[in-house]
């Protein structure tokens, strides 16, 4: 599946979603409130992991309740980062095809497309690779990026640039300056 671009042959820019275009951390707080009826306060603003950021520990039952609401609502209601929409519109108007490549579960791709449409993003293709929990050192986006051959790939996890070969792609790392990120252990 050596897909050098998608159907319209425009140059492709591959973008991660969570942490690049959309605010996963803010969504956690909103879903928590929707699930439990309580607002959260950020206790550790530079924490990478959302539960640490909000100081939340779940029982198994609470975790199940939260995950059920997350699966139904989160992937289609995430707020965007300031400037993300404007940047994407400018790139689209300049002739680039924008493709979202996310480590989100593939079964929520339609939710993510709905989320993009809600905000007005000019993104019509979302590829969900899954998280790669079985081997954290393995890049879950490697094959997709090699197949897409984007001119630029933007992500907030350095691991997602690892081992990509045979492409002439510029890598752009978005550093949100979180502490204790998976990036802390990488060059």
Q: Assign a CATH topology to domain 12-23+80-185.
A: Rossmann fold (3.40.50)
Q: What is the pLDDT of residues 95-121, one digit of tens each?
A: 999 999 999 999 999 999 999 999 999
- Model pLDDT, residue 2: 38
- pLDDT bucket at 130, cuts 50 / 70 / 90: confident
Position with higher pLDDT, 112 vs 181: 112
CB 182 within 8 A of CB 43: no
Select from 152, 154, 156, 153 the least CA-distant residue to 175.
Answer: 156
- Model pLDDT, residue 136: 66
Q: What is the pLDDT of residues 64-88, one digit of tens each?
A: 999 999 999 999 999 999 999 999 9
């Amino acid at each position: 599946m050596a897909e050098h671009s998608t159907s319209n042959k425009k140059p492709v820019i591959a973008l991660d979603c969570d942490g690049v275009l959309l605010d996963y951390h803010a969504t956690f707080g909103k879903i928590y409130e929707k699930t439990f009826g309580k607002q959260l306060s950020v206790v550790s603003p530079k924490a990478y992991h959302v539960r640490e950021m909000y100081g939340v520990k779940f029982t198994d039952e609470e975790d199940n309740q939260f995950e059920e609401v997350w699966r139904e609502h989160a992937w289609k209601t995430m707020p965007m980062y300031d400037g993300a929409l404007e940047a994407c519109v400018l790139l689209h108007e300049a002739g680039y095809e924008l493709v979202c490549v996310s480590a989100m579960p593939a079964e929520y791709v339609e939710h993510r497309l709905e989320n993009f449409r809600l905000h007005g993003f000019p993104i019509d293709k979302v590829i969900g690779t899954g998280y790669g929990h079985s081997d954290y050192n393995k890049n879950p986006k490697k094959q997709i990026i090699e197949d897409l051959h984007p001119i630029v790939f933007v992500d907030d996890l350095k691991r997602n640039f690892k081992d990509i070969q045979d492409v002439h792609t510029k890598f752009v790392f978005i550093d949100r300056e979180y502490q204790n990120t998976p990036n802390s252990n990488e060059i």
